[in-house]
Structure formats: C-alpha cells, structure tokens
Amino acid sequence: MERSGARVVMEALERQGVDVFFGYPGGVVLPLYDEMLNWPQIKHILVRHEQAAAHMADGYARATGRVGVCLATSGPGATNLVTGIANAIMDSIPMVAITGNVNSWAIGKDAFQETDIQGITIPITKHNYLVTNVDDLPYVLEEAFYLANTGRKGPVLVDIPKDVFIKKTSVAFPDKIERRGYRLPPTPDAGQIATAAKMIAEAQKPVIIAGAGVMHSHSWDELRTLAETCDIPVINSLLGLGCFPRDHELSLGMMGMHGEATGTLAVQEADLVMGIGIRFDDRLTGDTSKFAPNAKILHFDLDISEVGKTVTPIAFVIGDLKDSLQAVLKEVAPKTHPAWRAQVKSWQETYPLVVPEGKFLSRTVLRALNEHTEGEAIVSTDVGQHQMWTSQFIKFKKPHTWLSSGGLGTMGFGFPAAMGAKFAQPDAEVWAVVGDGGFQMTLQELQTAVEFNCNVKIALLNNGYLGMVRQWQELFYDHRYSHVAMGSPDFGKLAEAYGVKFLRCSRTEDLDATLEEARAHNGPVLCEFVVEMEENVFPMVPAGGSNSQVIMDPALKTPVEAAK
C-alpha cells in the first residue's frame, strides 16, 4: 500500500510502541504534523523550546528503559536539540531524534533554515541519517530504534527533508535488521568468568562499584544476589543510584568527588574493586595514579573500548551485564568478610552525612523530602550543589527513579526530564529538584506542564547563587566571587502568571506542611525553598586530587584521615 513518508514515520512510532513523544512544529515538518491528527493514540507533547523536547525524551527513557523520541524542524529547531542529544550520548540514553530539513533538491543551497544537522551531530550520536529517498525511510526508522536501544545505548538522529515527508512509498518495514559491522555484545568468555570468580574468592576486602550499565541491562537482581552471596559492599556511581537499594545493609551510597566518605575510603583500602557497568570517570576516580592503590581491578562492561580507558584492570569480563553476572553467580561460593564489614561500618559511624541544625539548608529540605517520599518517588535534578545533595540524601530503592545529567552536566535538564518521566509513568510521584540558576534555563515548560496538567512537583532550592561555582570560588579562589550572584524573578508571580500552584518556604518549622500540601495537589506545583546562601557540599575531593584526600564537612567533630 502506498503511503506518504509522514505516514511511515507515524507507523514506525506505533510499531515501536511509542505512546508519547515530544516536539515543536515548523515549516518543513508540517506534513508530519498534519499526519499526526490521524494518530490520536500517539500523544504529542508540544514543548515551548526544542531543548526541552530532547530532555523530556531523555527523562522518558531513563524512567522506563524504552526509547525516548523527540522532534524538531530544520535549522534552529534542529540545533536546539543538540544539547539534549549530547546529554544522551554521554549517559548512554536510548533516544531517537527526528528532524525535518529543507527539500532534498534545496540541500546545499543555503535555503531558508537549512542546517547540516547530520554533520553537526556526528560526534554526539550513536548513528545518524539523512534520508533523501522515501523508499529508504521504513528501513532507516526501524534501524534507528534498533541501534538506539541495543548494545551500548545512545541517541540516533534521523533527518528527513520536507519532500520526503510528502512523497509516497509502498516499501514495507523490514522483518529483521542487519547492519554490516554492527555486533551485539558477545557471550561472556568462560575464561574471563573463571578469572573473575577466582578473584572474588581470593579477596578479603572487596567492593563493587555499580553504575548505569546495571540499569540499562536490567541486571539489578543479579547484582544484589552477587553482593549478598559474597558479602560485598556496593557503592554506586552517580548514574548508578537506584540499581541497588540504598537502605540495604551492604549499600555505601555514592563515592567520588562529592560521594559519601565511606565508599570513597573503602575503595582506597580495598584489595578488589569490581567495576560493574561503569566507565571509571574522573569524578569517581580522582587522580587515577592514586586510585585504589591496594586493589586488583576487575571490570565488567559490554563496551570493550571502556576497558583500560582511565584505569587499568587486572581482568575484565565483556558482555551483556545480565549474562555476565548470571555466569559469575554459577561459579562463586557464599563467603563472608566480617573484619572488612566492621571496618566499613566504623567509617560509616565516623563520617556520616551531616545536616547542621539551626539553619534552613538545602540539606534540611532534601532530608525532609526523603522522609516524605521514603525513597519511592522519581526524582530528577539539574546540575550543581543541589544535584550532589540529592544524590546523598534521597535514598533511592528502585531502578529508574533517579534522573540526572552525569557526563555532560547539563543545567536546565531537571524540570523537563521530570516531565518526560511523568508522561512515561503517570501513576508515579515525580519531583524535580532544581536550583535557581538551572531552573531559569527551562522554566518556560511551566506552560507545557499546565496545558497537560503534568503532575510534577518542583523543589526549587533558591540560594541566590550559582552554588557549585560559588563554592569552588570560595575554596579555591580565596572567596573572590565572580559573576555567581544569581538574580531571580519573583517566582510566586511567575507561577501565578503560568497558572501553577506556588508554595514558598523559608523556615524548618513550615517544611513538613509545605511538602504535604505540594504532594496532595493534583497538578504541577512550584515549591520555592529560600535556603542558606553559602552552604557547601561535603565531602569533597578537589578536582584532580586523590580520593584519599577527602575534605570533610567542618561540622564533623572528627577530621578525616586517609586510608592507610
């Protein structure tokens, strides 16, 4: 049956089980927007800025494990997606970005709103396409979803000229995708598995560092079984939070630059560090020459290019993590490490996270938010101090509940990502924890939230600064504050203008009532928490420093000592 390229796009979305996608119209994509009217079962969310469409698709994907889809017109519409696409490639998020382009016969002639989005996004996509023949469109779209959500996941861009949306094709969708040179992760090698099991059996001070790869491979049950069987403490990378229950006795929370001291010190003292689905990024390792000096490193990953990129492992296991962990579990025997667990517990007792009383702090707010939501809500953040405090104080119990920009560190991500998660999981409680800086980058999406009654709660921590930048200027630039004082609008009047329920809280005494009122309201709520201006995030490992040199919270009575 002949159908237009626009209809092929909508058929592709339906075939892939896409129930909602995010976009903004423009001239060259009007044929597709016209076709959308024939597909009421697939909801299109009209954003107010294309960057938010990409972040919503990203949040949708993180909250579900499915492919998020965003759409933009040519030129500035397409380029406005770039930050969101880059964010997705850094964090291995499955996304398909569809862009329109000028008519195929006009490409290369500087037509109105023509931009080479394919060339622009080559470095930040897993793959991308410019489709100039409508007969190619069914296969390209099917392959785009396949590439985005297999192997190491990531964003794929499909650029479609206006005339390709209009032209007709009778070509069917393929039954199978085969791309020369593209290989899925291999079956774990038996020798690698045997070596890993032997290292686990010999270790006396083992730790696991579990990352987002556990989430992407749905291997959180295997991770927990391995940790419990072999009595191994589990640390999470920033993006791995939620893949191991934070209230579990073996959980040490996050480690690294702003992680909890227990995990950071445990890695420095360990004799075996198992990296499972992590890339050993610089915020986690600190100075790699001094990282885990006493440990053998064992790396589990599906991407061989990550092995040895920053730290050199003694051994590695390459393959899908679920397969790899299941194979290891067949080879290991139950084991306990009482002396090691006692040492870890001593660090936990000596270096707890501190919330000083008597001041209204961001930590005060997040501690209360955790108590009210009991670690069950989906929580997203922007980037900065509030992101680190959220990762410390919200005790995530389940996968797909923590949404944060890791590798790219994107301000403005938190609010639209939370909306994407809410559209994906309409029955879930969803909070966006944002700062007064990042929120002002994407707050126009309040109108989108109102239009669709997107029941997202926004915890705006307003300290009047670009907080993390100010902290660095305080600690490393002799308190010379340069362009970090963040002027803000009257957020109450702003919320009123958009028709959003607004709550302001500046005292600990009002905190519980504010959170209760926000949670009870059926619809978007903006909660402004006017907090202490010069609060710092601790613990802290200075950039490029050793993880043994943890700067602890001055409120702690016992100064930290490097692990010997």
d(CA 331, CA 58): 37
Residue among 43, 113, 290, 532 flagged as catalytic: 113
**Alpha-carbon distances of 78 from 93, 369, 443, rounded to whole Å:** 19, 37, 20
Q: Which of 153, 159, 92 is nearest to 122 (CA)?
A: 159
Question: Which two tokens mark 443?
Answer: 């707050």
- Is 112 in the active site? yes
Tell me if 437 sits within 8 A of 383, measured CB to CB: no
End-to-end, the C-alpha distance of the chain in Å comes to 72
Alpha-carbon dihedral sign for residues 275, 281, 282, 283: negative
Running DSSP on this structure, what letter comes out for residue 398?
A: S
DSSP-assigned beta bridge partners for residue 10: none
- Catalytic residue at 202? no
Query: 50 catalytic, yes or no?
Result: yes
CB 149 within 8 A of CB 94: yes
Q: What is the pLDDT of residues 241-279, one digit of tens each?
A: 999 999 999 999 999 899 999 999 999 999 999 999 999
215 is a catalytic site residue: no
Least confident stretch, 40-44, 271-275, 278-282? 278-282
DSSP assignments along 424-477, one per residue = H-TTS-EEEEEEHHHHHHHGGGHHHHHHTT--EEEEEEE-SB-HHHHHHHHHHT
Contact (CB, 8 A) for 460 and 528: yes
* Of the candidates 456, 423, 388, the residue with the CA atom closest to the CA atom of residue 63: 423
DSSP codes joined into one string, 508-553: GGGHHHHHHHHHHSSS-EEEEEE--TT----SB--TT--TTSPBPP
Q: Which has the closest alpha carbon to 500: 473, 528, 479, 476?
A: 528
The C-alpha atoms of residue 438 and residue 434 are separated, in whole angstroms, by 7
Q: Does residue 300 contact residue 322 with C-beta atoms inside 8 Å?
A: no
> What pLDDT shows up at residue 256?
87
Question: What integer pLDDT is reported at residue 558 of this predicted model?
Answer: 57
Task: Please give the C-alpha separations between residue 295 and each of 228, 250, 277, 289, in angstroms, as whole numbers.
Answer: 21, 19, 18, 12
**pLDDT, average across residues 207-232:** 98
Torsion of CA 420, 421, 422, 423, to 10 degrees: 50
Share of residues in the chain with pLDDT > 70 (%): 99
**Count of CA atoms in the C-beta half-sphere (13 A) of 286:** 23
Tallying the residues shown for the chain, one arrives at 564
Query: Which tokens belong to 63?
Result: 């909250």
What six digits make up the tokens of 341? 């667990």
> What is the Cα–Cα distance from 157 to 126, expressed in whole angstroms?
8
Per-residue confidence at 564, pLDDT binned at 50, 70, 90? very low
pLDDT of 198: 98
- Please list the residues that pair with 207 across neighbouring strands: 273
CA dist 244 to 233, 256, 387, 418, 428, Å?
11, 17, 19, 21, 19
The one catalytic residue in 126, 142, 143, 162 is 162
Only one residue has tokens 């985005």, namely 148
Check residue 555 and give its pLDDT.
Answer: 87
Contact 28, 102 (CB under 8 A): yes
Asked if the domains 190-350 and 362-530 are classified in one and the same CATH topology, the answer is: yes
Q: Where are the domains of the chain?
A: 3-169, 190-350, 362-530
Residue 431's beta-bridge partner residues?
379, 457
pLDDT score at 562: 40
Is 113 annotated as catalytic?
yes
Q: Which of 10, 35, 50, 95 is catalytic?
A: 50
Mean of the per-residue pLDDT values of the chain: 96
At 46, give phi and psi (nearest 5°).
-80, 110
Residue 563: predicted pLDDT: 40
Q: What is the C-alpha to C-alpha distance for residues 36 and 272, in angstroms, rounded to an integer?
A: 54
Element (H, E) at 296: strand 296-301
The CATH number, out of the four listed (3.40.50.970, 1.10.240.10, 3.40.50.1980, 3.40.228.10), of the domain defined by the range 362-530: 3.40.50.970
For residue 172, count CB atoms less than 10 angstroms from its CB and return exposed for 0-12, middle for 13-18, buried for 19 or more.
exposed
Helices (H), 50-189: 50-64, 76-79, 82-90, 117-121, 137-148, 162-166
Give me the pLDDT at residue 548, please: 86
Query: Each residue of 454-477: pLDDT tens digit?
Result: 999 999 999 999 999 999 999 999
Please tell me the pTM assigned to this model. 0.96
Tens of pLDDT along 323-358?
A: 999 999 999 999 999 999 999 999 999 999 999 999
The yes-or-no verdict on residue 155 having pLDDT over 60 is yes
pLDDT category at 560 given cuts 50, 70, 90 is very low
Q: Residue 200 pLDDT > 60, yes or no? A: yes
- pLDDT digit string (tens) for 486-533? 889 999 999 999 999 999 999 999 999 999 999 999 999 999 999 999
Mean per-residue pLDDT for 307-317?
Answer: 95
Per-residue exposure over 333-349, b if at least 16 CB sit within 10 Å of its own CB, e if not: eeeebeebbebbeebbe
Query: Would you say domain 190-350 falls under CATH 3.40.50.1220?
Result: yes
Q: Of residues 468, 486, 502, 535, which has the active-site annotation? A: 468
Rounded average pLDDT over 154-168: 98
Active-site entry in 14, 112, 345, 359: 112
Above 80 in pLDDT, residue 557?
Answer: no
Cα 522 to Cα 529: distance, rounded to the nearest angstrom: 20
For the domain covering 3-169, report its CATH number: 3.40.50.970
Sign of CA dihedral 292, 294, 300, 305: positive
The residue-averaged pLDDT of 117-139 equals 98
CA distance 75 to 114: 5
How confident is the model over 62-87, as pLDDT tens digits? 999 999 999 999 999 999 999 999 99
